Structure 1
Amino acid sequence: MLKKFLVAAAAAAMVMGPAAVAQADDIVRVVENTVTIPVASGGFPGRAAAQASCPPGETRTGGGASVIAGNSHAERYLLHSTQPISGEAWWAFATNTDTTNPGTLKVYAICARVVSTPTLTTPISS
């Protein structure tokens, strides 16, 4: 029985040929945005907010953020919030208590474009 099934599957593959394979149009990408977290001034920490947005036609599926310390102690640079926001974007907020070295805030959005109806072509009979 298994032999007959494999022969039938092979015959169908030969008849349909490579033209019957659906094209993969799905895309998953990471979009990022980087901003500088300014130095602390007047007794207040430097503050920065940033967002990364998915291109039109793509859906945000996740995201995140990271803080990169300047030439100072890492505990002076804090990531306070990272969350999805409306409009297929991801947002983050960070502060810097160092008075001489700026830091960096990177925010990421994971975006996907999924084809809901794949294109399937069939061979042309001759």
Structure 2
Amino acid sequence: MSRHPSSPLLSPCHAPGELATRAELQALSTKFDDRFANLELRIDARFTKLEDRIDERFTRIDERFTRIDDRFTRVEESIASIAQSLSRLEEKVAHGASKAWVLGGSGGVLLAILGVAWWLLQPYVATMMRIASGSGA
């Protein structure tokens, strides 16, 4: 005996056109309820596993972002320290003489001293050279 395709109330063991009894419908309802409950449990178990995996991944992502944030904080602190050091150096250079300037000034002063010494000693050196060459004085 086949079930009539257009009527869900027909029992598979009845001939077409016969309706199922109340006990058969309750048994069928219980069977569907059990299947749906089992299906619901399986779906819940799968969703729970998926939720746990997703939570674990989000936890790892959160930890990574925390580490990245810590690194950026350290980079910002380093940049601030470098900026502070540069500002101190700029202040020292602006208020003090640079090495090249000091060496240039020292060289200029040395040349001036040598020039003055030559100018002062030139008459004596010239006289000594005349005497040494035998031209007499």
Structure with the larger helix share: 2
Higher alpha-carbon Rg:
2
TM-score with structure 2 setting the length:
0.21
Structure with the larger strand share: 1
Structure number with higher relative contact order (C-alpha < 8 Å, ≥ 6 residues apart): 1
